[in-house]
């Protein structure tokens, strides 16, 4: 490694601390080194020495960018991310980058905070890639949130229905109920709830393409008398409802607006009614370091978003006149959901490319799905359904 910089030497020394699983790295001079202990996880090829400076300065965000720009090839990105998460303590600061290396991304995070105008832009940046794009790899319910697998042989579609059915049952939704759904996506929940119970739903979203899909779906399924679709910001919701549902929308709210979100949930519930929120969470002991930096997902996939610590659901509920009464976590189901999405995405690759998406986008989207899968499998993040009640 005669051409290797001080950064390369530092990088190699840090990798020698890994204890949970092994990875093989082939360096630009053609030499391959094995790092870690135990089961083999992934193989990486570094195409130039400068990429190591990028890794040292930007940490896991630098790794993501190097993969997207094809400066690093990896045979199993999900396994690599899982390996990195499990070795977080051993790899230390190397995963997080230097202050100067990540400063620009911190500035971008500040600029994409979810004011009403910015929230609209952030939603469009992700969800308005086009309904046809998402139809290629989501299941027929068009569910873009974690399924719940009751057994490994269930189809993705059935597992998504399991998720909705559990929420319907936990809320004990009746035909006479008027439900508010905050962030309804492509209508998977409200469609299932109406078909199962005959309830009425006011469904809110802030994505023009999702609104178009939902209007067409509501008409096709004959749900017009049961579903009131509103393309508005959640902060503009008026009225009260028997029950409230919100599925993986809270991650897009942003820390500055968590109080607005919980206040809106609380003020939208009639009397001592209840709400169920499905959300992705970060362990409390990891949350402080997470909130100090900007990761790949925030920078490239969900601008303006931020995960909550587990304890925040309880804290914010109490502060807004509610209490957390039931918590059900199913992170491995999310890892399995992401794996199936990734497989379906690759199966549809030729059709994705026909829509105009290039090699760089293909690498970015694959990494997004792998990044999340690996983090869920390592237990670094989790997903749960949180039942809260007005007190």
Identify the pLDDT of residue 117: 52
Whether the Cβ atoms of residue 305 and residue 123 lie closer than 8 Å to each other: no
- Asked whether the predicted pLDDT for residue 382 surpasses 90, the reply is yes
Phi, psi of 34 (to 5 degrees): -105, 135
| Contacting residues for 281 by C-beta, under 8 A, at least 6 apart | 307, 308, 309, 310, 312, 313, 381, 382, 383, 384
More confident residue, 312 or 384: 384
**249-307, pLDDT tens digit by residue?**
999 888 889 999 999 999 999 999 999 999 999 888 888 777 776 667 767 776 767 88
The predicted-structure confidence for 68-125, as pLDDT tens digits, reads as follows: 999 999 999 999 999 988 988 877 654 554 433 334 433 444 344 544 554 444 444 4
Least confident span in 40-49, 103-112, 319-328, 344-353: 103-112
According to the model, what pLDDT value does residue 144 have? 96
Return the pLDDT at 2.
43
DSSP state of 138: S
- The DSSP result for 340-383, as a single string, is HHHHHHHHTHHHHHHTT--HHHHHHHHHHHHHHHHHHHTTSEEE
Tokens of 118: 């910015």
Which residues have C-beta within 8 Å of that of residue 320, sequence separation ≥ 6? 259, 262, 263, 265, 266
Q: Which domains does the chain have, with CATH numbers?
A: 6-97 (3.30.1050), 116-390 (3.40.50.150)
- Which is nearest to 92 in space by CA: 28, 10, 9, 183? 10
- CA-wise closest residue to 331 among 281, 386, 289, 275: 281
The pair of three-digit structure tokens given for residue 57, joined into one six-digit string = 């300065």
Give 125-177 pLDDT, tens digit per residue: 444 578 999 999 999 999 999 999 999 899 999 999 999 999 999 999 999 99
pTM value > 0.85: yes
Tens-digit pLDDT profile for residues 336-366: 999 999 999 999 999 999 999 999 999 999 9
∠167-173-178 over CA atoms, to 5°? 115
What's residue 162's pLDDT? 99
* CA 289/CA 286 separation, integer angstroms: 6
Average pLDDT of the chain, as a whole number: 88
pLDDT at residue 139, rounded to an integer: 98
């Amino acid at each position: 490694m005669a051409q290797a910089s001080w950064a390369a030497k530092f990088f190699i020394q840090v990798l020698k601390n890994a204890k949970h699983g092994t990875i093989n790295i082939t360096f630009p001079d053609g030499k391959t080194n094995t790092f870690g202990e135990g089961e083999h996880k992934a193989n990486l090829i570094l195409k130039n020495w400068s990429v190591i400076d990028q890794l040292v300065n930007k940490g896991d965000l630098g790794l993501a960018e190097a993969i997207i720009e094809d400066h690093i090839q990896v045979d199993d990105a999900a396994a690599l991310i899982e390996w990195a998460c499990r070795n977080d303590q051993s790899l230390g600061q190397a995963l997080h980058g230097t202050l100067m290396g990540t400063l620009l991304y911190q500035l971008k995070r500040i600029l994409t905070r979810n004011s009403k105008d910015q929230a609209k832009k952030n939603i469009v940046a992700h969800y308005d890639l086009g309904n046809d794009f998402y139809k290629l790899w989501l299941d027929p319910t068009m569910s873009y949130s974690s399924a719940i697998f009751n057994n490994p042989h269930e189809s993705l579609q059935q597992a998504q229905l399991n998720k909705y059915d559990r929420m319907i049952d936990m809320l004990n939704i009746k035909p006479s109920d008027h439900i508010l759904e905050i962030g309804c996506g492509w209508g998977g929940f409200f469609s299932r709830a109406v078909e199962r119970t005959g309830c009425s739903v006011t469904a809110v979203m802030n994505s023009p393409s999702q609104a178009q899909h939902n209007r067409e779906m509501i008409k096709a399924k004959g749900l017009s008398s049961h579903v009131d679709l509103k393309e508005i910001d959640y902060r503009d919701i008026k009225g009260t409802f028997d029950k409230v549902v919100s599925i993986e929308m809270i991650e897009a709210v942003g820390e500055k607006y968590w109080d607005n979100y919980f206040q809106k949930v609380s003020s939208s519930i009639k009397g001592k009614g209840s709400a169920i929120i499905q959300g992705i969470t970060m362990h409390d002991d990891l949350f402080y370091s997470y909130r100090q930096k900007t990761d790949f997902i925030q920078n490239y996939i969900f601008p303006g978003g931020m995960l909550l610590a587990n304890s925040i659901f309880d804290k914010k509920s109490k502060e807004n006149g509610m209490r957390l009464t039931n918590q059900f976590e199913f992170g491995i189901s999310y890892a399995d959901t992401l794996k199936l999405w990734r497989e379906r995405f690759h199966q549809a690759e030729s059709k994705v490319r026909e829509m105009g998406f290039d090699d760089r986008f293909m690498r970015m989207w694959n990494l997004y799905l792998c990044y999340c899968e690996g983090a869920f499998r390592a237990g670094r993040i989790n997903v749960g359904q949180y039942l809260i009640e007005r007190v």
